[in-house]
Amino acid sequence: MINYLNDLIHNNREWVFTLAKIAGVLGILMPMIAYSVLAERKISAFIQDRVGPNRVALPLLGGIPILGPFLTRLGLWQPLADGLKSFLKEDFTPAHVRKVYFWLAPAIALVPAFMTMAVIPFGSFLGTEKMVLADLNVGILYTFGIVSLGVYGIVLAGYAANSKYPFLGGIRSSAQMISYEIAMGMSVIPVFMLVGDLNLSKVIEYQSAGFSSWLIFKQPIAFAIFLVAAFAETNRLPFDLPESETELVGGYHTEYSSMKFALFFMGEYAAMIAGSAMMVTLFFGGWTLPLFGLNEIPQADAPIWYGIAHIVIFLAKILVLMAIFIWVRWMLPRFRYDQLMDLGWRRFIPLALLNIVITAVVLFLTVK
């Protein structure tokens, strides 16, 4: 049996390690989504001077003296209760909806966020394996192509609900996401003009010299546009106009419940994590850290702790940006729709164009 397994791994090494990396990415991503929801509830409670989730306890662990009540007060088990509730709640489909599209929309909204993670380098090497699922030479083009698919799930949900509020939410979302995708795409052009390569691993390599080489310091305008566009692309406050409860009840969410609603919810948080991972890669040095020699590009036979440290650094940077996403939601009011479109078309797109021109002129004058 052991010989059979050894032969299987040896003969299909690439497939085995790719499947192992996919399992590892999903094994980290799914708990991150669940506990991002808990972090959002805890941070919002802190901002509003409330306690937040602190009641759910597991039958055995909750009874352990000191540790059990401590973990319960942290709300550590709340995501388990939320997930169980979504699975067990009645899956209700209203009679007036267009059923095939109604069932298909939540999956279409969730999948693109997961697929984006395929080209983002989340570490250097573990053993001889490079810590990226697909090290594409056109990684950024793949990312924007996949991200643009996310809008179809929301538009389809608005259409399938066969009701005016979800339909208006779907229309708003499509206009908003298409508008800000242009600004977002133009904002990263100066980054790749500096790097000279569309491969995301090369972007990290370019920033590995030290803090001063991080692209947030060389392209602050590009980062500001990308960050605001990421809020609009993920429908987060102050740009959550496709949902806006006070105007559209819940927008495209209105007719959904149980696990279908949970898929939309998971898609939103997965998109936030993917957006944060992309910002870490493009502007914050990716998995490198210019301390203790952790910014050096390792060889394939580097010690395994070195590779683990790079993955931890990458995740820590993502968590910081996720905290900013959550903090902004609970601190800023919602924009009006005309203000949102004005900001995208009349402010960000000209600013991104100007940034491209300035970067091109500087490169022309300085690069020999």
Q: What is the structure's pLDDT at 286?
A: 86
Dump pLDDT digits (tens) for 21-80. 888 888 988 899 989 988 989 998 998 888 888 888 787 777 778 888 888 888 888 888
162, 110 in Cβ contact below 8 A? Answer: no
Q: What is the structure's pLDDT at 368?
A: 67
**In the predicted structure, residue 5 carries a pLDDT above the cut 80:** no
**In the predicted structure, residue 223 carries a pLDDT above the cut 90:** yes
Segment 287-299 mean pLDDT: 79
**In the predicted structure, residue 121 carries a pLDDT above the cut 70:** yes
Q: What is the structure's pLDDT at 1?
A: 67
**In the predicted structure, residue 222 carries a pLDDT above the cut 80:** yes
**In the predicted structure, residue 280 carries a pLDDT above the cut 90:** yes
56, 81 in Cβ contact below 8 A? Answer: yes
- Of the pLDDT bands very low, low, confident and very high (cuts 50, 70, 90), residue 332 is confident
- Per-range mean pLDDT, top range of 55-69, 254-268, 347-361: 347-361
Q: What is the structure's pLDDT at 314?
A: 92
Q: What is the structure's pLDDT at 130?
A: 81
Q: What is the structure's pLDDT at 239?
A: 81
**In the predicted structure, residue 255 carries a pLDDT above the cut 90:** no
The average confidence (pLDDT) of the chain is: 84
**In the predicted structure, residue 351 carries a pLDDT above the cut 90:** yes
Question: What is the percentage of the chain residues whose pLDDT exceeds 70?
Answer: 97
- Of the pLDDT bands very low, low, confident and very high (cuts 50, 70, 90), residue 190 is very high
Dump pLDDT digits (tens) for 138-185. 878 888 888 778 788 888 888 888 888 888 888 888 888 888 888 888
Q: What is the structure's pLDDT at 323?
A: 92
